[in-house]
Structure 1
Amino acid sequence: MPLDDVIDSPKTDVHALPTDRPALAPAEPSSRVRYRGLIWLVAAAFFMQALDSTIVNTAVPAIANALGVTPLSMRTALTSYVLTLAIFIPMSPWLCDRFGTRRVFAWAILVFSLGSLLCGVAQNLPQLVASRVIQGLGGAALLPVGRYVLARSIDRREFVGAMTTVATFGLLGSVFGPLLGGTLVEFTNWRLIFLINVPVGLMGLWLNRREMPDYRLDRANRFDTFGFMLFAGASALMLMAAETAGGHGQWLRVGGYAMAAVALASLYVRHSRRVAHPVSDLSLLKVRSVWVSLAGNLFTRLGVSGMYLLLVLFLQIGCGWSPLAAGMMMVPQAIGSITVKPFIDRLLTRFGYRRLLLGNTIAVAGVLCVFALLSPSTPTWVIAGWVYVYGAFMSLQYTSMNTLAYVDIDVRQASMASSMASTAQYLSMSFGIALASLLMEGFLTSHEPGAYVRAFRWSVVVLGMVTLAGSWVFSRLRETRPV
């Protein structure tokens, strides 16, 4: 059934006047106007999650110093959060069907806020990692449930515009994160970067009671517990292989983890074909726009997800910048992203997904490689200008990739598509952060500032080449435009 058929369509009430002449009722507002409060709620959730995903980056050197570890070892605190998101996101469709979107979204906000509180009081790295996992348990439902509810509530013709609005607030969170993190670390205490989520979460709970629709099934399908365990095990083992690869003489363990991950993934593929309601429905990959969106997300985010961590290390350790100054360098990225947002819908309509994503992915790879030309003597305005350019291209890339998965499916598949898109996004983010950290660690010859500069340069070139591989994926797409 097409999406437009199940979304509450405007109804025209015609009343007879005393003269029996019909009068047209006033035109009802568009779905974006009717669900304005919902859009704000989902945008607030995206803002909170993006804030927390990026606020740690600027504070990495300070937190590492406070906990007595090296800056690059902090990657575990970053990857544990996004990997937890990826593992538990596939549960969100079943949870929504069983308990309803309003209740699931409320519990997600509550658990996320609790995890933030525990992060703020952590005394060592293992405690911080465990608290980040709790954050991830809550955050795992925020993004897919938000996307799903918008897909159910907003007219398809207005969906890209609604997602652009939501993505803009997520973008603001990703910018205020480093800026706020740098400010708090420099003038107060790093623990406040987590504790500020608590009042934001309370506001989200209030909005949820007012604005969140309660979509659910009368009888939810049975949850695919065995499939979930296979998927979770494969994902965790693959990240363990990536994390272990940074150690010397660990290649036997790396190979063991990788082989076990491949074995569990293969078992899941066979299992998903035999059950009626798998935790991730791989049959959706038969839709070309879906598999291109997921695979393109994987290669692109492998290349760019660790970029902010590398840039912070380059600026703070390699160039001697303060945490606040390094955080402020994210502001041009936000400005570049916001500048492009109003034009994305028109660009997609004119050029289509294939041409736009193919050309833009090549451009992003080139932009990453140009970062290798930066040095401690590069003028601040030059760095800021290039960060602005990077933000503009990445804004176009993210919005185009995130909406591509929905253009050829109907509402019955929207929940699963949202879950799979979010899972692919966060899996690739966790692997991308691990890859960037491992590259930086591999190229690092000492802990002197100059060594960090050289390692940064080689790392961004390799990441640019990884991103370039995504252009081949997008070349497999047929000419597709927003509906």
Structure 2
Amino acid sequence: MNPSNLSAVGPPVQVPSEASKHLLPWLVAFAFFMESLDTTILNTAVPAISAALDVKPLSMKAVLASYTLSLAVFIPISGWVADRFGTRRVFAAAIGLFTFGSFLCGISTNIDALVACRILQGMGGSMMVPVGRMTLVRTFSKSDLLRAMSFVSIPALVAPMLGPIAGGLIVAYLHWRFIFFVNIPIGLAGLVLVYLYLPDYREKKTHPLDVVGLILFGSGIALLSYVLEVFGDHTLGVREITGLLVVSLALLAGYWIHAKTLQFPLLQLNLFRIRTFRAAVGGGLFTRLGIGGVPFLLPLLYQVGLGFTPIQSGLLLMPQALAAIGVNWVILRLLARFGYRSVLITNTIIIGMLLLVFATIGVHTPIWVIVALAFLYGAYSSLQYTSMNTLVYADTTEEETSAANSIFSTVQQMAISFGVATAGLATAFFIPEHSQSNPALMIDGLHKALLSLGVLTILSTTVFGSLKKEDGRAVSQQKAIHPGG
């Protein structure tokens, strides 16, 4: 365990044993996977659920948006809650709340009850990822953090690919309610593991919660999330969307002004003075504008454009997951050899170029070429996410851990929504509604959308240009690679 943690946050209730340190990344990844899978598995079941609840499929947007809104509101306070009540108690409560919410969703008999239960699920999910990540940061020294984080990053890549397949199989062979019931045994097992292995960190003394900041920022970010969720659905006109966007930005601007007057605001924006933190958070946001929409575009290309079935489309995405798992041992060596600046700049350009190559896939493209591209994309995406996720903590102190984690988790959640919205904008621009039933026009439009996202991804490398060669060295120099270094 990192000894400096004790002076920063006080003695943990349970000092992590070696067994706990080995199992902790598995436990956090376990929770991450459950939360990430839930956000993607539901999409496949939307038609079946809407038919069972006797509502229009478009009404199911509220079921999807309510979860995202709940995440956006409660993620910012995750750091304060964990500091106040302890990481073990909060993490266990998050898994329990998420599991109980899943059960209630599964027994819901109308759309209103389902939306309310999804909000409850989101409250649990909003704490699982940030608090789990914070526990890792406080348990492992910076020189060991990269190895742990590289493992935990895998669920974020694997779950979006497995979700549609799992959802399709459940709807086809079981009942839509098992979409939610599948979380129950996973959650119960997670609670047992938390009790046995999760260390408990808490601050000796916490500052008062910034309630005004929570109202301003929570309202602004929730409204912005809603705008991104409904964007492109034609349920609201341009005037309404613009008005909501202006109000959300005004609320966020109000929070920024409010935060400057407090010593302990909800989100400590002064952390952006740290170059590595600023590059990791900003780079993560702008990079995801390009690559965040890929899980949305590729299934469209494979199914609507090329005529593959949902199962076949899902199988074509599987090499990404396999590559993400297999590339972990390479990530440690690459960052130790070349450093964060070189790796992030080069890797972002490569990912952008891969998106440009995806834009050449057509009806005559051999399957092995698609599989090879998917494998390469999965490997480089895993390197990208792990690098950004660990660079955040390279130069933050122990006292700044929870504040940095809250900001990073909030921006990360927003970046996911921004990425999907960007992909939606690109498809709406390049694929007119009247051409969506024509495979040839769909392929052409999706190619243009992928080209635009590839260019956008390459341009996002400018954010990492502010880094220096030595930045992140405390994290990237692994003991297993440089003994005694």
Q: Does TM, normalized by the shorter one, top 0.5?
A: yes
Matches within 5 A, 1:373-452: 373-442=360-429, 443-446=431-434, 447-450=436-439, 451-452=441-442
In the TM superposition, what whole-angstrom CA distance separates every residue of 1:110-132 from its partner, at most 9, and x where no partner exists?
Answer: 11112323443456766655443
| Matched pairs, number | 461
Deviation at 1:227, TM superposition (A): 0.4
State the Cα distance separating 1:179 from its structure 2 match. 3.2
Contact 1:57-1:312 within 8 A present in 2 as well: no
| Corresponding letter in the other structure for 2:125 | G
Alignment of 1:187-336 (within 5 A): 187-243=173-229, 245-246=231-232, 247=234, 250-336=237-323
Cα distance in 1 for residues equivalent to 2:369 and 2:50: 29
Rounded Cα–Cα distance in structure 2 between residues aligned with 1:136 and 1:478: 38
Please say which of residues 420-429 and 210-219 is displaced more in the overlay.
210-219
Structure 1 residues 254 and 89: alpha-carbon distance in aligned structure 2, compared to 1, 3 A threshold: same
Asked whether the 8 Å contact 1:242–1:254 carries over to 2, the reply is no
Which amino acid in the other structure matches residue 437 of structure 2? E
Alpha-carbon distance, 1:161 to partner = 0.6
Deviation, 1:65, is 7.2
Listed one character per residue, the Cα deviations across residues 326-348 of structure 1 (whole Å, up to 9, x for unaligned) are: 22222101112122211111111
Q: Is the 8 A contact 1:83 1:430 kept in 2?
A: no
Structure 1-normalised TM-score?
A: 0.87
In the other structure, the counterpart of 1:13 is: none
Aligned partners of 2:231 and 2:421 also within 8 Å? no
TM-score, length basis structure 2: 0.86
Q: Which residue of 2 aligns with 1:120?
A: 106
The CA deviation at 1:85 is 2.1
Structure 2 match to 1:482? 473
Structure 1, unpaired ranges of 5+: 9-29
- Checking the alignment, whether the CA contact within 8 Å between 1:285 and 1:291 is kept in structure 2 is yes
Structure 2: stretches of 5+ with no match in the other structure: 8-15, 475-485
8 A contact 1:32–1:158 mirrored in 2: no
Query: Larger radius of gyration, structure 1 or 2?
Result: 1
The residue aligned with 1:12 is none
Alignment counterpart, residue 160 of structure 1, candidates 125, 146, 149: 146
Q: How many Å apart are 1:414 and its aligned residue?
A: 0.9
- Deviation, structure 1 residue 412: 0.8
2:456 is aligned to 466
Q: Which 10-residue stretch deviates more, 95-104 or 60-69?
A: 60-69
Q: How much has 1:249 moved relative to structure 2?
A: 8.0
SS at match of 2:473: coil
Map of 2:120 onto structure 1: 134
1:78 Cα deviation after fit: 4.6
> Counterpart of 1:5?
4
Q: Secondary structure at the match of 1:205?
A: helix
Match in the other structure for 1:185: 171
In structure 2, relative to structure 1, the CA distance for the partners of 1:52 and 1:220 (3 Å cut) is same
Query: 1:27 corresponds to which residue?
Result: none
Which letter maps to 1:429?
A: I
Q: Per the alignment, do residues 150 and 245 of structure 1 end up closer, same or farther by CA in structure 2, a change over 3 Å counting?
A: closer
Contact 1:186/1:324 (8 A) holds in 2: no
- Conserved in 2, the CA contact under 8 Å of 1:112 and 1:135? yes
What displacement does 1:396 show? 0.6
State whether structure 2 residue 81 is matched by structure 1 residue 81: no
Q: Relative to structure 1, is the Cα distance of residues 61 and 440 closer, same or farther in structure 2, using a 3 angstrom cutoff?
A: farther
Deviations 1:323-382 (A, max 9, x none): 322222221011121222111111111111111111111111121222222234433332
**1: CA distance between counterparts of 2:377 and 2:191?**
35
**Counterparts of 1:382 and 1:55, CA distance in 2:** 27
Does structure 1 retain, via aligned residues, the 8 Å contact 2:289–2:456? yes
Q: Report the Cα distance in structure 1 between the residues aligned to 2:238 and 2:346, rounded to whole angstroms.
A: 37
8 Å contact kept, 2:282–2:463: yes
Q: CA RMSD in A?
A: 2.8
Amino acid at match of 1:158: D
SS in 1 for 2:153: helix
For 1:214 and 1:381, the matched residues in 2 are separated by 48
Give the 3 Å change call, closer, same or farther, for CA 158–225 of structure 1 in structure 2: same
Cα distance per residue 1:107-152 (max 9 Å; x no partner): 1001111232344345676665544332221111111111111111
Q: Which of 173, 176, 199 matches 2:162?
A: 176
AA matched with 1:460: L
Alignment deviations for residues 210-251 of structure 1 (CA, whole Å, 9 cap, x no partner): 112221223322111110111112212323444555338822
Q: Determine helix, strand or coil for the equivalent of 1:375.
A: coil
Q: 1:370 to 1:77 in 2, by over 3 A?
A: farther
Q: Which amino acid aligns with 1:345?
A: L
